[in-house]
């Protein structure tokens, strides 16, 4: 594998076409520093450029997925403008073109919840909890919290979380549609990797296109989103992988997809 981490607080490992990125600061509940954020951005660019990577699992070590930003390090910004213009770990995750599955193994608070929401698919441990606690400290989330939360669980449920800052458990997150599945904590990473391996077996251009289509659906008026989808359908239909898919269907065999 050509992708490695230069920061011991982030682990990167690859199995087949799937890379698992793991925050590794369990004693601080995987709170993210600016240095970790910078490293995640570097890793994201490397993942996008590596054709041996078709899907990604994002998770944490220990009893937390992530408690968000390390609040003690935020005092380093001398002005609100400098704080506003910093590169954020949610920006790094948002730049990933490839499908990302979150394995939410514990606390997903603040920026940790934003990180989970930025991922495409979310699997949670039974013990996981979710919160947008920024309001308790006098500010609001800035990594997409309000728009992603409202899009995931609806305006009223999002308002309840954003305006109280109180946590919800995994079962409520599942009922609200915040996560797709809830599994025992010792199975959460394996289940996320299983989903990622299934995605990695699909034609990679089509998988990345499905992600782009979903983002368009969330951001464009319906007629424009459908028109965009139709254009991307035409592009994917003309790929070698699509031709292979049609041939495999006709010959009743599994397709062999090469990302071309």
As annotated, the active-site residues are 114, 134
State the Cα torsion 212-213-217-222 to the nearest 10°.
Answer: 140
Of 122, 99, 125, residue with least CA distance to 198: 99
Please list, in sequence order, all residues whose beta carbon lies within 8 angstroms of the beta carbon of residue 192, skipping any fewer than 6 positions away: 57, 59, 101, 102, 103, 121, 123
Using CA atoms, how far apart are residues 114 and 136, in angstroms rounded to an integer? Answer: 17
Q: How many CA atoms lie within 13 A of 6 on its CB side?
A: 9
Using CA atoms, how far apart are residues 144 and 71, in angstroms rounded to an integer? Answer: 18
Using CA atoms, how far apart are residues 50 and 17, in angstroms rounded to an integer? Answer: 10
The span from the first CA to the last CA of the chain, in angstroms, equals 21
30, 23 in Cβ contact below 8 A? yes
DSSP type of residue 69: B
| Residue 212, token pair as written in the block | 């782009």
């Amino acid at each position: 594998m050509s992708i490695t981490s230069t920061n011991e607080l982030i682990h990167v490992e690859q199995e087949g076409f799937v890379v698992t990125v793991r925050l590794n600061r369990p004693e601080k509940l995987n709170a993210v520093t600016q240095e970790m954020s910078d490293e995640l951005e570097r890793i994201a660019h490397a993942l996008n450029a590596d054709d041996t990577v078709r899907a990604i699992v994002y998770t944490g070590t220990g009893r937390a997925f992530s408690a968000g930003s390390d609040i003690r390090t935020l005092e380093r910004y001398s002005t609100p403008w400098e704080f506003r213009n910093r590169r954020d770990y949610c920006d790094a995750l948002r730049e990933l073109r490839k499908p990302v599955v979150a394995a939410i193994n514990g606390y997903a608070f603040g920026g940790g919840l934003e990180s989970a929401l930025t991922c495409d698919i979310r699997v949670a441990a039974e013990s996981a909890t979710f919160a947008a606690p920024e309001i308790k400290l006098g500010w609001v989330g800035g990594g997409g919290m309000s728009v992603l939360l409202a899009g995931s669980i609806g305006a009223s449920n999002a308002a309840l979380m954003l305006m109280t800052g109180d946590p919800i458990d995994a079962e409520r997150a599942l009922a609200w549609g915040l996560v797709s599945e809830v599994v025992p904590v010792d199975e959460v990473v394996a289940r996320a990797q299983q989903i990622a391996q299934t995605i990695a077996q699909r034609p990679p251009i089509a998988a990345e296109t499905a992600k782009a289509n979903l983002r368009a659906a969330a951001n464009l008026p319906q007629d424009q989103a459908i028109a965009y989808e139709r254009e991307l359908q035409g592009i994917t239909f003309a790929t070698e992988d699509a031709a292979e898919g049609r041939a495999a269907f006709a010959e009743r065999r599994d397709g062999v997809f090469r990302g071309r």
